[in-house]
Structure 1
Amino acid sequence: MVGIAGKSAVAGCAAFMGTLGAPVPATAVAEQCANPTGTYTAAVSWGQRLIDPARIWPLSRGTGQLVAVIGTGVDGGNGQFAPGQLVGGQGTEAQDCDGRGTIAAGIVGAQPDPSTTFTGIAPGARILPIRYTQANGGGDPGQLASAIDAASDRDAGIILIAVPAATDDPALTGAVSRAREKGALIVSPASGTQQGASSFPTATPGVLAVGSANQAGEAVQAESGSYVGLSAPGAELVSTSAGAGGTVAHRWPVSDPGLAAAYVAGVAALVRAYHPELSPEQVVARLTLTAHRGPSGGHDPRRGWGSVDAYAAVSASIPAGTPGPGGPPQVGPDTVVVPAAAPVRPGTDKVSGVVAIVGVALAAAAGVVVAAARRGKRRGWKPSRFRAS
């Protein structure tokens, strides 16, 4: 469920869901649909600090990437979306009563704005808003399949399932297969709230399934399985709100396991923009290989291979042939994935900027450093995770 301070948009929308895709009456919008909490001006939220997108923007802002947000639509009236950033046309929906699609889209690509400390991960990306349901709890898997086909037909390179379905359908499996054949990376949350429950297409082969974690790193969703690839923030979040009426406005605190996938979709946009030569499978391998490992260093059925590390995912040099999600994403005990040097922040002097650029180039050229086996054994080192320098 969406845990949002104040009035529940979900409960209101469910009451008049009616025919899928039908326009929402203006009176219902005013009384029942999502409304902003306000403009967020407090300290940068923990989820945004974890991803730290500003650190990555000198390398990639997600420019050139089209991210489909499939769920409840996206309210184009929020002032933190750039003009033209939300792509219109056939199959799109720029209204969002429930509010979840707008929250997810903001996590992916909201623009930096001086009135708020909140920003999206990949502000250079464009958003393709597609609605297949108006209410929380998922919708018809056949209609979700049609929505995925619509995103694929519009050449979305990343397809974010903001609201997965609670049941499977052969049509949904077919839509996933067709989208993958066209080169799309599908990201879907493991958002089931009951033990043993699965979300779809989250559990469908070929989909990057994302678990949800709180600030302490604990999994917050009940859904689990070997298909969960990695985890991202899903509790006590901040993002853009529906119902902003042209202003910069937000909802907080938002707790919804489904929103973890929005963080990963934003990071995937950064990766694909910086590494356009990579296939969706290679992007998934990069995301899982560079994730912050848990204490065991292995796979956790609720948190996958660990928490997404956005900077390492974009900048790391990974050897060709390194095992990815098709097998355990581990490398030999003497192999180290080397992220590029941190780029200089805006406002520093030109000499430091040149040094930083050279550092990035040298780190990329250095690639993978293979330590001597004797040294590794002597130190007793084990690759619990790949970490940024």
Structure 2
Amino acid sequence: MRARGSRVRSARPVQRATALLMTATIGALGPGLLPLPAAAQPTVAPEDGGFYASPPPVDMGYLPGDTGQPDQNYTQKVGCVERDLENNIQLNQAPWGQLYLRLDEVHRLMRGTTKGVGIKPNGQPVRVAVIDTGVTASHPFFEGRVKSGGDYVKDTGQPGLEDCDGHGTEVAGIIAADTPEDQMKFTGVAPDAEIISIRQSSQNYAPDDSATPSQGAGGDAGGQSGGDAGDAGGDAGDAGGAGGASGPGRPGGTGAAQDGGGRTQGDEGSAGTLDTLAQAVVRATAMGVDVINVSINNCRSADGGITEGEKRLQAAVHNAVENNVVVVAAAGNLSEKCEQNDQPDANAPKTIVTPPWFAEDVLSVAAIDKTGGVADFSLNGPWVSVAAPGTEIISLDPAEGSSGLANLTIENGESQPIKGTSFAAPYVAGLAALVRAKFPELNAREVMNRITSTAQHPAAPGGRDNFVGYGVIDPMAALTATVPEEEGLPPDSAVALPSDMPPAADRNWTPVIVALAGSGGALTALLVTLFVVHTIRRNRPAEPR
């Protein structure tokens, strides 16, 4: 038994040494074997080819001048959107996004407090610049409230007041369409606002290398129906006809490309660049608009430093906000060119989107679906400000001569529901118009803060995440809530609550100790007494019998 016990005692030091060796080995190799938490992962500096979540400081020396002209000759390559008379379905339903945001209640509130839904107290309408593919100004539900702002695609007699692609009209409709209540359930967020249309891009136009400046971009939509580009590309049906699917169109037609990668700058074979986008922002600012909606963006890999075009756009949006203009932009859609920012370190995005990247000066808008969750195509990023409905969109039919609504678009020759962060952004731009009408004393940054402060914050630190930003917008709260910053009150601070059970209540153990000591003493005295008695009895001499 002693030998066995001796072996056990001698083995314990060996076990301890083995355990210490294993601990040291894991500590040395662990960082290479296990993924680091996001906070511990290194971020590559811009000068080394990486990027931080925030762009470099604004350099106002890059603020561009405004030419007011296309940067080159563009020619129409496919036909413009057109009505589908064979499937002329009349829509008489409100889109789910309109119901989700309780816009009917919001409009009743606004009509009771102002002269109109989107009208300032001085009787002037809020002016929203839509920098997009143009707007079909003749649509009756605009009621003549679409004004020309400029054209960087085609020099026409009505700059910005035609929409070959169909995208800008649907964006503008979400902002400011006013439909008859007895005929249509759809309505814009700010149906009394004024739209300033600036056509800055088009996927139905392409650079015309063969044309001379005097020739312009032949085959324009305002020219011949079925000639030149019309015959070559064909008409593409419509962007939903009067609410139904588009017709077959002619072979080669593409229709309004509102899905897939969304509207991006610099795509080969399309019109529009970062430079003309920056000029359009400068132009809208100079026109004194109240809100700018940009549902077009530039998406690229985060490798390398900020580009010259991005510097100009950054200066343009900063100039807009400093001149009291609220800038709203789509957060971007996933595509082959636009990869999702799903890397472990949120502060080292692998995809950069502008203008949303300039988050200090832009309200960038992610898209949600009917479930209230983030839409599967919505691009994540540390610059996302808020979110709004972006699926199953209903808006104005952009085709010339139409007086109806659209809920479908053409993609690769097939009709599908309209969706994209492009259509989430105008919900926020419309809300910004309402806030500017209700609170004319607020400047642009205060309007932005009211919208983010009253959004439905996600359950994340600081009430913000990279999916929906500060949450889905809440128009009723944005128009009625008390915002602490506006009242000079400190914002609510986070309070750390204990996550475990509280400690046991303190007790005075003195009486227990005294009682136990007394009992112990009595027991000891009893044991001593018994021992003495027992001992005396054993040592007592036996009595003679």
Normalising by the smaller structure, the TM-score range is 0.7 to 0.9
Question: 2:264 pairs with 120, 138, 153, which one?
Answer: 138
In the alignment, which residue of structure 1 is the partner of 2:94? 44
- The CA deviation string for residues 171-203 of structure 1, in whole angstroms up to 9 with x for no partner, is 111111221121100000111412132321111
In the alignment, which residue of structure 2 is the partner of 1:338? none
Residues 165 and 330 of structure 1: CA distance in aligned 2, closer, same or farther (over 3 Å): farther
CA distance in 2, matches of 1:260, 1:96: 20
**Identity over aligned residues, as a percent?**
29
- The CA deviation string for residues 214-244 of structure 1, in whole angstroms up to 9 with x for no partner, is 1112212342222111100011111112104
CA distance in 1, matches of 2:450, 2:469: 14
Partners of 2:149 and 2:198 within 8 A in 1 = no
Question: 2:298 pairs with 165, 175, 178, which one?
Answer: 165
Deviation of the 1:142 alpha carbon:
0.8
Question: 1:310 pairs with 468, 475, 484, which one?
Answer: 475
Residues 23 and 39 of structure 1: CA distance in aligned 2, closer, same or farther (over 3 Å): farther
Pair 1:206 & 2:350 matched = no
CA distance in 2, matches of 1:38, 1:148: 37
Deviation of the 1:248 alpha carbon:
2.7
Residues 39 and 20 of structure 1: CA distance in aligned 2, closer, same or farther (over 3 Å): farther
CA distance in 2, matches of 1:35, 1:247: 10
Residues 217 and 330 of structure 1: CA distance in aligned 2, closer, same or farther (over 3 Å): farther
CA distance in 2, matches of 1:301, 1:293: 12
In the alignment, which residue of structure 1 is the partner of 2:173? 106
In the alignment, which residue of structure 1 is the partner of 2:441? 277
Question: 1:287 pairs with 441, 448, 451, which one?
Answer: 451
Letter in 1 for 2:430: G
Partners of 1:40 and 1:116 within 8 A in 2 = no
- The CA deviation string for residues 328-382 of structure 1, in whole angstroms up to 9 with x for no partner, is x962469xxxxxxxxxxxxxxxxxxxxxxxxxxxxxxxxxxxxxxxxx99xxxxx
CA distance in 2, matches of 1:311, 1:137: 30
Query: Mean Cα displacement is larger for which, 166-175 or 209-218?
Result: 166-175
Pair 1:236 & 2:392 matched = yes
Deviation of the 1:22 alpha carbon:
4.5
Deviation of the 1:65 alpha carbon:
0.6
CA distance in 1, matches of 2:429, 2:138: 22
Residues 40 and 291 of structure 1: CA distance in aligned 2, closer, same or farther (over 3 Å): farther
In the alignment, which residue of structure 1 is the partner of 2:30? none
Residues 79 and 218 of structure 1: CA distance in aligned 2, closer, same or farther (over 3 Å): same
Letter in 1 for 2:264: G
Q: Aligned ranges for residues 120-269 of structure 1 at < 5 Å? A: 120-135=188-203, 137-139=263-265, 140-166=273-299, 169-193=310-334, 194-195=339-340, 196-204=350-358, 205-220=360-375, 221-252=377-408, 253-269=417-433
Letter in 1 for 2:469: G
Partners of 1:212 and 1:233 within 8 A in 2 = yes
Q: Aligned ranges for residues 62-81 of structure 1 at < 5 Å? A: 62-63=118-119, 64-81=125-142
Moved over 6 A (4+): 18-21
Structure 2: gaps spanning 5 or more residues: 1-69, 111-116, 120-124, 152-158, 204-261, 266-272, 301-308, 341-349, 409-416, 499-545
Pair 1:96 & 2:163 matched = yes
SS of equivalent to 2:148: coil
CA distance in 2, matches of 1:302, 1:333: 21
Partners of 2:149 and 2:284 within 8 A in 1 = no
Residues 227 and 43 of structure 1: CA distance in aligned 2, closer, same or farther (over 3 Å): same
Structure 1: gaps spanning 5 or more residues: 1-17, 335-375, 378-389
In the alignment, which residue of structure 1 is the partner of 2:512? none
Structure 1-normalised TM-score?
0.73
Max radius of gyration: which structure? 2
CA distance in 1, matches of 2:186, 2:281: 29
Residues 146 and 182 of structure 1: CA distance in aligned 2, closer, same or farther (over 3 Å): same
CA distance in 2, matches of 1:34, 1:96: 11
Question: 1:117 pairs with 185, 206, 215, which one?
Answer: 185
Residues 19 and 283 of structure 1: CA distance in aligned 2, closer, same or farther (over 3 Å): closer
CA distance in 1, matches of 2:90, 2:102: 17
Query: Mean Cα displacement is larger for which, 127-136 or 251-260?
Result: 251-260
